[in-house]
Amino acid sequence: MVEPTENALTKAGNVFMNPAEASSQHIVESRLHGIANVDPLTGLGNAQDLRDKVRALAAERASDPAPFTIGLANLDGFKPINDLFGPEAGDTILRQVANRLVACVPDGASVIRASGDEFAFILPLVFERKTAERMGMMLKEVLSAPFDLGERNVRLSASFGFAVYPFAGDEFENLLKSADTALYRSKRRGRGQITVYSQEIAQEMKRSTQLEQALRNAVIADEVDVHFQPIVNLKNDMVVGFEALARWCDPDLGYVSPAVFVPLAEERGFIDSLSEALLRKAAQTALSWPKELFLSFNLSSAQLTDPNTAANVLGIIHRAGLDPRRLELEITETAVMMDADTAKKIIAELREAGVRIALDDFGTGQSSLGRLREFAFDKVKVDRAFVSQISTDRACEHIVKAIVAMCDGLNLQVVAEGIENFSEALKLKALGCGMGQGYFYGKPADATTTRRYLAGKYGEAEPAAIAV
Ligand code: C2E
Ligand code: MG
Ligand code: MG
């Protein structure tokens, strides 16, 4: 990669070397302005330059009402690379990024180093979303090639946010804020994402921020509840355990599905406190059940990438007084594959302590049968998608039959999820499926209802209420 030979700084820096020119007050001022507008590391314009250029372009376009676009690119995972290889390597990468961007933007466009690992673009000839997205894809591609650090190469991705003038803002501050909102959304969605600001995106961001605030408060106030759904032995329809399912009803937002708020808590970084509150409540409730019943608890994907998860889980159930052998943890294939090595360690530590591991929603992820051998699971939960069509679709029936046979051979237990009627239950029994769960056997119910149900079923007096 070619380093900048004569960048804006070297040009501007010469001002002090040339007394003839320096005699002109005007030139000195404009060159000083030049220095103030230049990023010394890359020679690109800086945040000040971005503001000046965008303001000038907006003033021009105010009379000639043609749109233009600004964009922001933030490098993904730059800090760990800087920490690992040192700041000089970091600087080299930033210079190479600058060169690549300058080389590939269209004529008339500007590239600016807005701050740290964030670059900005002014694209006078990009008028609408589709073109901005295409530009984002091209820039992303250009940055995906390895960066040369002499002895080694490193790879990075970048996230992008674009805002089109004047729809996303008719003044510099608003336009930049919109580009920043778009970038923030891209960052939240994972690496290498591209977002162009729109009203819908702004609404979506506002809603999820409201939801986040409400959920954070609910976690602190201990208002997120746990319900329990029975899991039965299909040979005799006896309850063998319960799956804990999170439930949250906000006074303003109403009922929010765990399929919405669990991923939100993961994304916003407080899944640990949410999960801890839920597991604590679930474990305390399970203490009031007959001892042979297990508690099945869902672990989220983010928890499977955190090396502290096993210790945290064991600590919570230890404090609650629940025997680890009564706990099962449900994990999904997608979660396992995010960081397979860490997931393997977590699974091993938990199983060592007596906790069983179930592979949830089996058949819906990027299922690889090899994974059943590679990872040590105890149980497989066949996804509702197969069960709900088992009576009408021959292919589903064959798939479930094959899963049951395979699990038999691998010494894994099988649970069919989402059994809604008698004929589905009958079919699964005929196929030799060991366990089942679904509305037909019981909907998720709160702790008190569950205890009453058990008291009725087991013919015992209702166990003393346990504070949860
Ligand atoms: P999942 O673990 O696959 O849970 C099963 C989902 O199927 C639950 O939805 C349950 O209410 C629903 N279900 C059970 N039987 C039937 C049936 O017969 N018919 C139909 N149509 N649905 C049935 P829910 O409670 O909305 O939970 C959705 C997902 O959210 C769960 O899927 C799980 O992945 C996640 N989740 C729920 N609670 C927690 C939690 O405490 N922690 C974590 N990490 N994830 C949770
Ligand atoms: Mg589950
Ligand atoms: Mg499931």
Atom of ligand 1 nearest to the CA of 227: 25
Please write down the long-range contacts of 200-203, taking CB distance under 8 Å and 24 or more positions apart: 202/178
Give pLDDT < 50 ranges for the chain. 1-23, 461-468
Whole-angstrom Cα distance, residue 468 to residue 466?
A: 6
* Closest to 75 (Cα-Cα) out of 92, 93, 89, 87: 93
Instruction: Report pLDDT for 191.
Output: 87
Instruction: Please give the distance of CA 57 from its chain centroid, rounded to a whole number.
Output: 37
188 shares a domain with 239:
no
Instruction: Judge contact between 110 and 152, C-beta under 8 A.
Output: no
CA of 247 to the centre of ligand 1 (A): 10
Q: Is residue 124 part of a domain?
A: yes
* Cα(95) to centroid(ligand 1), Å: 48
CA of residue 360 to ligand 2 center, whole Å: 6
Whether 368 and 224 map to the same domain: the answer is yes
Q: Please tell me whether residues 242 and 187 are part of one structural domain.
A: no
What is the structure's pLDDT at 460? 53
Quote the tokens at residue 315: 């600590």
- Asked whether residue 5 is assigned to any structural domain, the reply reads yes
Q: Is 404 in the pocket of ligand 1 (CB under 6 A)?
A: no
Domain match, 394 and 451 both: yes
Same domain, 158 and 274: no
Q: Residue 296 pairs with which residues in a beta bridge? A: 243, 328
CA of 422 to the centre of ligand 3 (A): 20
The closest ligand to the CA of 231 turns out to be 1
Q: What is the mean pLDDT of the chain?
A: 89
The reported pLDDT for the residue numbered 72 is 98
Q: How far is CA 36 from the centre of its chain?
A: 39
**Encoded tokens for 390:** 């088992």
Ligand 2 centre and the CA of 381: distance in Å?
A: 8
Question: How many angstroms does the Cα of residue 450 sit away from the middle of ligand 1?
Answer: 17
d(CA 446, CA 461): 18
Q: Counting atoms of ligand 1 from 1, which one is nearest the CA of 330? A: 2
Task: Tell me: do 126 and 167 sit in the same domain.
Answer: yes
Would you state the structure tokens that stand for residue 235, as one six-digit string? 């040979």
Q: Is 245 in the pocket of ligand 1 (CB under 6 A)?
A: yes
Residue that is last in its domain, among 197, 221, 236: 197
What are the φ/ψ torsions at residue 409 (nearest 5 degrees)? Answer: -65, -35
Tell whether ligand 1 has an atom less than 6 A from the beta carbon of residue 278: yes
Q: How far is the CA of 345 from the centre of ligand 3 (A)?
A: 23
Ligand showing the shortest atom-to-Cα distance for residue 229? 1
| In a domain? residue 406 | yes
Question: Pairing state of beta strands 238-250 and 194-196?
Answer: unpaired
Q: Is residue 317 part of a domain?
A: yes
Nearest alpha-carbon partner for 96 in 232, 188, 4: 4
Say what the pLDDT of residue 442 is. Answer: 96
Q: Is the CB of 421 under 6 A from ligand 1?
A: no
The crossing angle, in degrees rounded to 10, of helices 271-286 and 258-267 is 130
- Most informative mutation of 229, 298, 391 for ligand 1 (most atoms within 8 A of CB): 298
What is the number of the ligand closest to the CA of 361? 3
The CATH number linked to 84 is 3.30.70.270
List the residue whose alpha carbon is closest to atom 8 of ligand 1.
245
pLDDT recorded at residue 14: 33
Both tokens assigned to 41 = 């590391």
**For residue 258, which atom of ligand 1 is closest to its CA?**
30
Which atom belonging to ligand 1 lies closest to the Cα atom of 303?
44
Residue nearest to atom 20 of ligand 1 (CA): 418
The residue to mutate among 245, 390, 424, 435, having the most atoms of ligand 1 within 8 angstroms of its beta carbon, is 245
Provide the domain count of the chain: 3
Dist. CA 360 → ligand 3 center (Å) = 5
Output the CA 260–ligand 3 centroid distance in Å: 15
438 lines ligand 1 (CB under 6 A): yes
Looking at the structure, tell me whether residues 389 and 373 fall in a common domain.
yes
Is the domain of 325 the same as that of 400? yes
Q: Is 203 a domain residue? A: no
Whose atoms come closest to the Cα of 246: which ligand?
A: 1
Phi, psi of 300, rounded to the nearest 5 degrees: -85, 165
Collect residues with CB below 5 Å from ion ligand 3: 360-361, 417
Do the domain assignments include residue 177?
yes
Question: Is 218 found in the same domain as 283?
Answer: yes
Tell me, yes or no, whether 381 lies in a domain: yes
Q: How far apart are CA 46 and CA 51, in angstroms?
A: 9
Measured in angstroms, how far is the CA atom of residue 232 from the centroid of ligand 3? Answer: 15
pLDDT at 23 (0 to 100): 46
The domain that holds 391 is classified in CATH as 3.20.20.450
What CA–CA distances, in Å, run from 312 to 142, 219, 276, 461? 42, 17, 8, 34
Tokens of residue 96, six digits? 């190479």
Q: Is the CB of 444 under 6 A from ligand 1?
A: yes
Residues in the chain: 468
225 in ligand 1 pocket by Cβ < 6 Å? Answer: no
Query: Using an 8 Å Cβ cutoff, are 227 and 243 in contact?
Result: no
Ligand nearest to the CA of 259: 1
DSSP string, 14-69: GGGG-HHHHT-HHHHHHHHHHHHTB-TTTSSB-HHHHHHHHHHHHHHHHHS---EE
Q: Is residue 120 part of a domain?
A: yes
pTM, two decimal places: 0.78
Residue of minimum CA distance from atom 21 in ligand 1: 418
Same domain for 255 and 160: no
- Predicted confidence at residue 77, as pLDDT, reads 87
Q: Confirm or reject: Cβ of 257 under 6 Å from ligand 1.
A: yes
Give yes or no for residue 439 CB within 6 A of ligand 1. Answer: yes
Range(s) of the domain holding residue 2: 1-31
Which residue in this structure is represented by tokens 């008719």? 170
Q: Is the CB of 298 under 6 A from ligand 1?
A: yes
Task: For Cα atoms 257, 437, 342, give the angle at the middle one, nearest 5 degrees.
Answer: 65
Whether residues 271 and 418 share a domain: the answer is yes
352 and 400 together in one domain? yes
User: For position 16, what pLDDT does the model report?
Assistant: 35
Q: Ligand 1 centroid vs 245 CA: distance in angstroms? A: 6
Give 263-312 as a DSSP string.
HHHHHTT-HHHHHHHHHHHHHHHHTTS-TT-EEEEEPPGGGGG-TTHHHH
